[in-house]
Chain A
Amino acid sequence: MAVLGVFVLYPFGQAIYRSFTEWNGANIDEFVGLANYRTMFTEDPLFWRSIRNGGLLTVAFVAQSVLVPLGTAWLIHHLRSDRVQYWLRILLLVPAVVPTVVSFLVWSQFLQPDGLVNRLVGVVGLDSLGHNWLGDTDFVLFALILVGFPWLNGANTLIYLAGLLTIPHDLYEAARMDGAGRWRTFWSVELPLLRGQTRLLVILSVILGLQNYDNVFLLTQGGPADASVVPGLLLYNNAFRYGQYGYAAAIGVVLFVVIFVLTVLGPARPWRKEH
Chain B
Amino acid sequence: MRALILVVLFGASLYPIVFVAISSLKTKSAFATNYFLPDRHVHLDNYRAAASEVLPSVWNSVLVSTATVALVLACGVPAAYAFAWRRFRGQQLIYTVAICTMMVPAVLTFVPMFVLVRDLGLIDTQWALVLPYTAGTVGLSVFLLRAFFRAVPQELVEAAKLDGSGDLRVLWHVVLPLSLPTLATLVTLNVLWTWNQFLWPLVTISSEEQRPVPVALAFLTGDRYNVDYPQLMAGYVLSALPLVVVLAITMRAFIRGMLSGALKA
Contact = CB atoms under 8 A, between A and B. Distances in A.
A7 B113 contact: yes
Contact of B263 (A91, A150, A200): A200
Interface string B219-261: 0010000000100110010011001100100010011001111
B265 A199 contact: yes
Contacts of A59: none
Given A4-B139, A162-B261, A207-B105, A105 B113 contact: no
B219 to A, nearest CB: 11
Interface residues of A, number: 83
Contacts, number: 219
Interface stretch (B16-24, B40-48, B167-175): B16-24
A266 interface: no
Interface of A: 1, 3-4, 6-12, 14-15, 18, 25, 72, 75-76, 78-79, 88-91, 93-103, 105-107, 109-110, 116, 119, 149-150, 152, 155, 158-159, 161-162, 165-166, 196-197, 199-200, 207, 210-211, 213-214, 217-218, 231-232, 235-236, 239-240, 245, 248-249, 252-253, 255-256, 259-260, 263-264, 270-271, 273-274
Contacts of B109: 8, 11-12, 14-15, 252
A167 B190 CA distance: 29
B99 interface: yes
Interface residues of B, number: 77
A12 B106 CA distance: 9
A189 to B, nearest CB: 18
Nearest to B259: A162
Given A12-B108, A116-B19, A150-B9, A7 B131 contact: yes
14 contacts: A3-B71, A3-B134, A11-B116, A25-B115, A75-B9, A88-B10, A97-B244, A99-B196, A101-B213, A106-B19, A155-B189, A232-B107, A256-B108, A274-B147
